[in-house]
Amino acid sequence: MRTENHPLFLFLRRLKINNIFKFNTRKNHISLFPILIIFLSIVLILNFINTLEIFASDSGNKQDIISGVVPHHLLAEEIVEDFFSYISSQEKPKTIVILSPDHFQSGILMESNSFITIALDSNKKEFDNLKIDTLLWEKLFKENKMILNSSSVIAEHGITGLLPYIKKYFPETNILPILIPADITKEQIEQLIKTIDENTLLNTIVVASVDFSHYFPSQAADFHDTKSIRVLLNFDEENFKNIEVDCWQALYAARLFAKLRQKEVPRIIAHKNSTDFLNLELEETTSYFSVVFGEKKTEEIFSGSTVESFNEEVQTVLLVGDIMLDRGVENLIKQNSIYYPFQKISHFLRGIDIVFGNLEGPVVNNPPEFPANSLKFAFSPGVIKGASWSNFNLFSLANNHTLDMGKEGLEETKKWLRKYVINFVGDPLSGSSDNLNSSFLRDNITFLAFNQIFPFFDKEEEMIKEIKTVKSLNPDNFLIVSLHWGEEYKLVNSPAQQRLAHKIIEAGADLIIGHHPHVVQNIEKYQGKLIFYSLGNFIFDQYFFPDTQQGLAVGLEIYPDRLACRLFPLQINLSQPILMKQNKASEFLIQLAKRSDDKLVDEIKGGIIKIER
């Protein structure tokens, strides 16, 4: 075969190697070709050896832990210490990728929807005396939107708070710190983790530096953590965006990396609140959850931290009372914004599966100006945008004001709710005989809603029949029945309410919530089921009486075998609900316990009622 026709020679010509060696004569071809053969053979052998080394490194690597979550608050240093100490007892990773929130909004200030990492130069390949994984740094910079800002990384406690522990336990490990601005998308996270997965060996760990619930009393923080932990452990992909943490993207990244590496077994390090470290009851707390993901199942790591204590099937529901967005509330909205009624409570409403309230009126374009003494309501569509922004996703339409703009107003209301992705339950026009069509089902939870206030009564016998039908169709679902009923401004239910409530429980309801009295009424336990006769107002303009400016939010944690009901007293200031301060909330619950079921007194005072299913 002529040398110039040899496949290797043709390959070299395609690579333009001939230009380097300037093959001009047959003699040159003959003399240089053996040299090229030897050269390429050496390269191939070296690459083969390198491949074998990588394979041996990966195949011999017994690393089990692949990712984890750890807090960055200094108050939780005990948890941070336990996290890195545990990993060091199991692994010696080659690289640790640290993902942190961008607390100081450097990304937004730079107007760049990009990840942030440190700048490198030929003289500096370290960060705070820890080596940087330069090869991964180059790959990430090439394949993802990254900006270099060392000063932002240095200022970020989500990074620097962890470095002393990495130095202590992994002084020889490479690191790569990355800040995640709030506007980073799920798709960007997926591309980032794909790049890390494809360009690192098995001995790489992705660490999410994340704190959980912020600025709530410990009871409210625990309620929000219930969903956040479920979403994380169960890799509930579509719910990461609606959890109460300081960087959902970092959690999603760490959990996705575990999935891609097929090492998804969680081992809980800790779940605590800042009150656990300070031994104080605080109005605002931070909660901490730490976990590692690997392949092996292990026994409890630290006392009380078994995976079984975190049920992956739990669902969370928040129930509130009457929402009226006309009259005085409308005036305040016009003076401020469509978000005004929800501004001080929206943070509390996030990170929950279902947020439910009673919408006390229709939603129509250009609502009329009713006389000041009118008892008719109509709301502007803009306020429903505000409700959606604040995370409401289910309203009851079964009340005496939904038809204040007639049948056409009801249909327009449904149209606006659909536009802003808010579901609805109960239909005052259908009658209870057709209420099955207006029930709401999600994740083993069913809602029904009925009206018992003039002029649109649901007949009692039809209500009971419908409840039995719905329960028989989904016998394992948790059935919540919402009732618009009772006497206004009465703090205790009427005998008629109680008789009907008992029939509804006997028909198959698992929980009853009431509204219309505009004050919080008593709580009863009947046949192991709870009856909240009235949750009072949530947003209203009834400023004339202290009790009408208070409400009760009920947070449900629904497990397959049990129910936890958390009680959150609300103060309503100029139509803006907010969680009551703890001393006032305690007094509120004491008074509520006094007028409630004797069997529930201690639990009501403690703010949580537990029921076996």
Tell me the pLDDT tens digit for each residue of 174-193. 999 999 999 999 999 999 99
Residue-level pLDDT at 50: 47
Same domain for 378 and 407? yes
Last residue of a domain, one of 309, 324, 347: 309
Enclosing domain of residue 347: 315-612
Taking residue 390's Cβ as centre, other Cβ atoms within 10 Å add up to 18
Last residue of a domain, one of 309, 340, 370: 309
Residue-level pLDDT at 473: 94
Same domain for 25 and 153? no
Same domain for 296 and 333? no
Mark the ranges of the chain whose per-residue pLDDT is less than 50.
Answer: 1-30, 50-60, 432-433, 436
CATH number for the domain that contains residue 343: 3.60.21.10
Residue-level pLDDT at 63: 81
- Per-residue model confidence as pLDDT tens digits over 222-266: 999 999 999 999 999 999 999 999 999 999 999 999 999 999 999
Residue-level pLDDT at 214: 95
Same domain for 72 and 49? no
Counting beta carbons within 10 angstroms of the beta carbon of residue 150, is it exposed (0 to 12), middle (13 to 18) or buried (19 or more)? middle
Residue-level pLDDT at 23: 42
Using the CB atoms, write b or e for 228-238: b if 16+ within 10 Å: bbbbbbbbeee
Question: Nearest-5° angle of CA 304, CA 309, CA 315?
Answer: 150
Counting beta carbons within 10 angstroms of the beta carbon of residue 535, is it exposed (0 to 12), middle (13 to 18) or buried (19 or more)? buried
pTM, two decimals, is: 0.89
Same domain for 557 and 586? yes
Residue-level pLDDT at 321: 98
Same domain for 12 and 110? no
Residue-level pLDDT at 306: 66
Same domain for 295 and 357? no
Strands (E) in 434-561, as ranges, are 440-442, 445-451, 478-484, 511-515, 523-526, 529-532, 537-539, 550-558
| Number of domains the chain contains | 3
Last residue of a domain, one of 39, 60, 81: 60
